[in-house]
């Protein structure tokens, strides 16, 4: 279990900073005066309020150790937490992690806000804070994997296909880029020249040469200058680390399992202060760390790796009859078990597909009792296969002793490497077995979908298992830090009413241990935004095309207003239906950009912003994390109230758990949060002006009450 062995006395910290700064001001006053003296910045009361509360929590001036602040758009949240956190880190030595949900915000903090504040803090304390960024492993090049992949292609000699030759070129380009001083970070990769196919090669190959590759063993790595190791070293000692939600969740799991922290040097304490921005997304990222899956592809990859390793071990046996015969019988034995596993996994997937067809659903959620009857038939040969790996390790050990007698040092080193590889593969077999139990064999432990249980579902290709509720696990995470600050533009579904209680329970905080509050946006929404709900009967039509045509009319009507139009949909199906009606009538001075047709999210947003008069159609990922200030977005059309799909596995499981309160405690809060995020795309600065049109007549029916709470302005009706 995690303990707060690193926890220090907060009072002594407070004394420490007073001593060091020789100031009589208390910490919140000091932070405020620093903030208000930043040149060329406007005084924002909401920001000051947030900054002072963060400072009070960090300095131990409040009873509570945790804080949740919903800060409306334009409050200046990042300075509100980053300034006190950076100053506090320098004065007390208590290290800070700031975790964001998106790479955009992570980069903005690391490249703009943090260096600016670090300079400021350095000026008044005489000590420059160190700031580091840590990205997910996938973002960093692994030289070990790169060289191995190059070698395996080079070894094919003249047997390379055209595609393999281009792959080899790509890998050589990466090698040159890195040896010529490239950072080894994916986003810094120079654009490789070549046909479009090379982009596909890049996308396909990067994961195999990144630090996230399954087959690498960092402990055995002989390369210096590893980009991931370098980033980790910086993060392990920095005063402030800018990370992301997933890394914080992974760090928690690693600390709990193997007492290893991504954010600390071995033997040293991990950071004590955790700040989570875009915190409305954190529970989902956190839940993802406890998710597992079972697919035929996962088994095939593992099987391939096992066979390859056993073949390599057999190759080392050449020249010694005894070893050769042991290796041959090992190969034979393993192939027998592998065939059994293969056949039984096929049978499992056949069973699941048949069950799914019987229920005629797209995703089949497994409730207690849905248990694969022949699980033993997979688990037994899997356990025997694992036995083969132990036999292979024993063979490696015996060959190592033989190599040392023969003084064949090179062979000894290679065999040592094989033993390590076998160990790692054995871990993967255990992980697969655990996934199998969670996904297809609801054992007693997972028999109930409850606080400790999983929702398990099958989507035709794979089984997925993940915990439904994570409040207890989150409580453990908070408890492993001295202070936790959570913030977002939407943290409480209904801040005016009972949103705080919902938040506290969902996020696993006990009563009385957290301060919760809302800092309203400084914008004058009544002047800046006008909101309509469209009530035309065609919008209620069960015929999708009639409805699509009506939504298209609203897009047409928006053309008379200058500036960009964004339409947010809840399904690709409806979006594509509306595109059919809109595409032929787009005026010459506008362009139509459609998610999934005209590029990725980042590319579409860049074009939408720079055009200034474009029409953008997007689904779920466009409802949040989109920042388009100015006239480039002046009309926002919300096609439908974003109720979650009731047959989405996690929603179904959560609703099942909540029983009669599902509507109030699951559906409405999630809908409100998404809707508030979506509407929040329109007004991004105090000079922005625009219209919101909701083309869903349900907004004036029984759902009117919560629509009223989600919008900062009154909702007018229009036909």
Binding stretches for ligand SF4 (CB under 6 A): 142-145, 211, 216, 218, 221, 223, 226, 228-229
Q: What are the Cα distances from residue 3, in Å, to 236, 263, 265, 442?
A: 19, 16, 17, 31
**What is the rounded CA–CA span in Å between residue 337 and residue 329?**
13
DSSP letter, residue 271: P
**In terms of C-beta density within 10 A (0-12 exposed, 13-18 middle, 19 or more buried), how is residue 166 classed?**
middle
Nearer to ligand SF4, 184 or 381 (CB): 184
Residue 637: CB minimum distance to ligand SF4, A: 46
Two tokens, residue 531: 């909101």
Q: What is the DSSP string of 493-543?
A: S-TTTTHHHHHHHHTTPPTTSEEEEEE--SS-HHHHEEEEEE--GGGG-SS
Residue 509: CB minimum distance to ligand SF4, A: 37
- SS3 call for 170: helix
Nearer to ligand SF4, 216 or 578 (CB): 216
Residue 274: CB minimum distance to ligand SF4, A: 26
Nearer to ligand SF4, 418 or 634 (CB): 418
Q: Which residues contact 281 (CB under 8 A, 6 or more apart)?
A: 101, 245, 488, 624
**What is the rounded CA–CA span in Å between residue 609 and residue 440?**
47
Residue 144: CB minimum distance to ligand SF4, A: 4
Nearer to ligand SF4, 145 or 437 (CB): 145
**What is the rounded CA–CA span in Å between residue 234 and residue 241?**
9
Q: What is the CB neighbour count within 10 angstroms for residue 519? A: 23
Residue 84 near residue 90, CB atoms below 8 Å: no
Residue 227: CB minimum distance to ligand SF4, A: 7
- SS3 call for 696: coil
Residue owning tokens 């066979």: 307
Nearer to ligand SF4, 69 or 145 (CB): 145
Q: Residue 709: which of 669, 665, 682, 681 has the closest Cα? A: 669
Q: What is the CB neighbour count within 10 angstroms for residue 373? A: 10
Q: Residue 497: which of 242, 708, 191 has the closest Cα? A: 708
Nearer to ligand SF4, 184 or 493 (CB): 184
Nearer to ligand SF4, 32 or 144 (CB): 144
Residue 141: CB minimum distance to ligand SF4, A: 8
Residue 217: CB minimum distance to ligand SF4, A: 7
Q: Residue 177: which of 134, 169, 205 has the closest Cα? A: 169
Nearer to ligand SF4, 228 or 706 (CB): 228
Residue 218: CB minimum distance to ligand SF4, A: 3
Residue 22: CB minimum distance to ligand SF4, A: 45
- List of E strands, 101-151: 131-133
Q: Residue 348: which of 458, 467, 465, 466 has the closest Cα? A: 458
Residue 636 near residue 681, CB atoms below 8 Å: yes
Q: What are the Cα distances from residue 606, in Å, to 108, 118, 597, 612?
A: 16, 30, 15, 10
Q: Residue 175: which of 146, 211, 217, 210 has the closest Cα? A: 146
Nearer to ligand SF4, 144 or 281 (CB): 144
Residue 149: CB minimum distance to ligand SF4, A: 12
Q: What are the Cα distances from residue 127, in Å, to 19, 79, 112, 121, 263?
A: 14, 19, 19, 8, 21
Nearer to ligand SF4, 421 or 637 (CB): 421
Nearer to ligand SF4, 73 or 143 (CB): 143
Q: What are the Cα distances from residue 646, in Å, to 377, 449, 654?
A: 35, 17, 10
Nearer to ligand SF4, 212 or 670 (CB): 212
Residue 145: CB minimum distance to ligand SF4, A: 6
Two tokens, residue 26: 């208390």
Residue 169: CB minimum distance to ligand SF4, A: 22
Nearer to ligand SF4, 231 or 395 (CB): 231
Give the 3-state secondary structure percentages of the chain, helix then strand then coil, rounded to 5.
55, 10, 30
Q: Are strands 483-488 and 715-718 parallel, antiparallel or unpaired?
A: unpaired
Nearer to ligand SF4, 62 or 428 (CB): 428
Nearer to ligand SF4, 172 or 417 (CB): 417
For the chain, what is the radius of gyration of the CA atoms? 29
**What is the rounded CA–CA span in Å between residue 704 and residue 710?**
10
Q: Residue 654: which of 284, 196, 345 has the closest Cα? A: 284
Two tokens, residue 22: 């020789």
Nearer to ligand SF4, 135 or 594 (CB): 135
Nearer to ligand SF4, 226 or 626 (CB): 226
Residue 221: CB minimum distance to ligand SF4, A: 3
**In terms of C-beta density within 10 A (0-12 exposed, 13-18 middle, 19 or more buried), how is residue 565 classed?**
buried
Residue 174: CB minimum distance to ligand SF4, A: 13
CA distance from start to end of the chain: 59
Residue 219: CB minimum distance to ligand SF4, A: 8
Residue 96: CB minimum distance to ligand SF4, A: 26
């Amino acid at each position: 279990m995690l303990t707060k062995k690193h926890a220090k006395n907060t009072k002594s910290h407070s004394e420490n900073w007073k001593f060091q700064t020789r100031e009589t001001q208390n910490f919140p006053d000091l932070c405020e005066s620093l903030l208000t003296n930043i040149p060329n910045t406007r005084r924002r009361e909401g920001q000051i309020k947030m900054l002072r509360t963060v400072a009070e929590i960090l300095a131990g001036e409040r009873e509570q150790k945790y804080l949740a602040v919903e800060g409306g758009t334009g409050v200046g949240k990042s300075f509100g937490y980053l300034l006190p956190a950076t100053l506090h880190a320098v004065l007390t030595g208590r290290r800070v992690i700031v975790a964001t949900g998106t790479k955009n915000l992570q980069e903005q903090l690391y490249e703009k806000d943090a260096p600016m504040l670090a300079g400021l803090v350095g000026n008044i304390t005489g000590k420059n804070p160190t700031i580091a960024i840590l990205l997910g492993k996938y973002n960093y090049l692994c030289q070990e994997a790169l060289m191995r992949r190059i070698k395996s292609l080079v070894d094919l000699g003249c047997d390379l296909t055209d595609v393999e030759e281009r792959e080899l070129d790509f890998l050589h380009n990466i090698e040159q880029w890195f040896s010529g001083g490239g950072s080894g970070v994916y986003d810094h990769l120079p654009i490789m020249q070549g046909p479009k196919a090379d982009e596909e090669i890049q996308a396909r190959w990067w994961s195999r040469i990144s630090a996230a590759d399954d087959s690498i063993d960092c402990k055995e790595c002989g390369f210096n200058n590893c980009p991931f190791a370098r980033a980790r070293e910086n993060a392990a000692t920095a005063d402030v680390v800018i990370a992301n939600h997933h890394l914080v969740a992974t760090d928690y799991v690693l600390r709990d399992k193997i007492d290893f922290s991504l954010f600390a040097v071995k033997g040293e304490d991990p950071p004590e202060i955790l700040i989570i921005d875009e915190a409305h997304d954190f529970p989902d990222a956190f839940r993802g760390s406890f998710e597992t899956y079972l697919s035929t592809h996962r088994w095939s990859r593992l099987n391939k790796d096992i066979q390859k390793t056993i073949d390599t071990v057999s190759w080392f046996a050449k020249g010694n009859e005894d070893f050769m015969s042991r290796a041959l019988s090992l190969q034979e034995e393993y192939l027998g078990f592998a065939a059994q596993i293969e056949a039984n996994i096929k049978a499992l997937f056949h069973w699941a597909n048949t069950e799914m067809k019987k229920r005629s659903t797209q995703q089949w959620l497994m409730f207690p009792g849905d248990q694969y009857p022949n699980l033993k038939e997979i688990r037994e040969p899997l356990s025997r296969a694992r036995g083969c790996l132990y036999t292979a390790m024993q063979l490696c050990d015996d060959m190592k002793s033989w190599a040392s007698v023969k003084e064949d040092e090179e062979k000894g080193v290679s065999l040592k490497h094989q033993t390590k590889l076998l160990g790692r593969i054995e871990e993967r077999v255990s992980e697969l077995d655990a996934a199998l139990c969670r996904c297809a064999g609801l054992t007693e432990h997972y028999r109930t979908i409850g606080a400790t249980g999983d929702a398990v579902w099958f989507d035709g290709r794979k089984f997925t298992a993940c915990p439904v509720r994570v409040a207890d696990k989150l409580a453990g995470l908070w408890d492993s830090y001295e202070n936790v600050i959570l913030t977002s533009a939407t943290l409480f579904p209904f801040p005016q009413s009972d949103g705080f209680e919902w938040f506290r329970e969902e996020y696993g905080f006990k009563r009385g241990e957290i301060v919760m509050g809302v800092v309203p946006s400084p914008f004058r929404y009544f002047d800046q935004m006008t909101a309509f709900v469209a009530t035309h009967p065609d919008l209620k039509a069960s015929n999708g095309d009639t409805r699509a045509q009506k939504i298209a009319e609203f897009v047409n009507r928006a053309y008379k207003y200058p500036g960009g139009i964004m339409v947010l949909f809840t399904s690709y199906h409806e979006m594509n239906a509306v595109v059919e009606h809109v595409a032929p009538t787009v005026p010459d001075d506008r362009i139509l950009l459609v998610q999934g047709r005209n590029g990725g999210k980042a590319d579409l947003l860049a074009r939408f912003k720079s055009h200034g008069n474009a029409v953008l159609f997007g689904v779920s990922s466009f409802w949040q994390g989109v920042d388009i200030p100015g006239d480039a977005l002046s009309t926002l059309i919300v096609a439908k109230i974003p109720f979650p799909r009731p047959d989405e596995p996690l929603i179904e499981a959560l609703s099942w758990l909540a029983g009669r309160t599902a509507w109030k405690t699951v559906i409405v809060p999630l809908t409100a949060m998404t809707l508030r995020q979506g509407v929040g795309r329109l007004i991004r600065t105090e000079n922005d002006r625009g219209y919101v049109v909701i083309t869903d007549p349900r907004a004036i029916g029984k759902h009117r009450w919560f629509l009223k709470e989600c919008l900062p302005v009154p909702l007018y009706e229009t036909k």
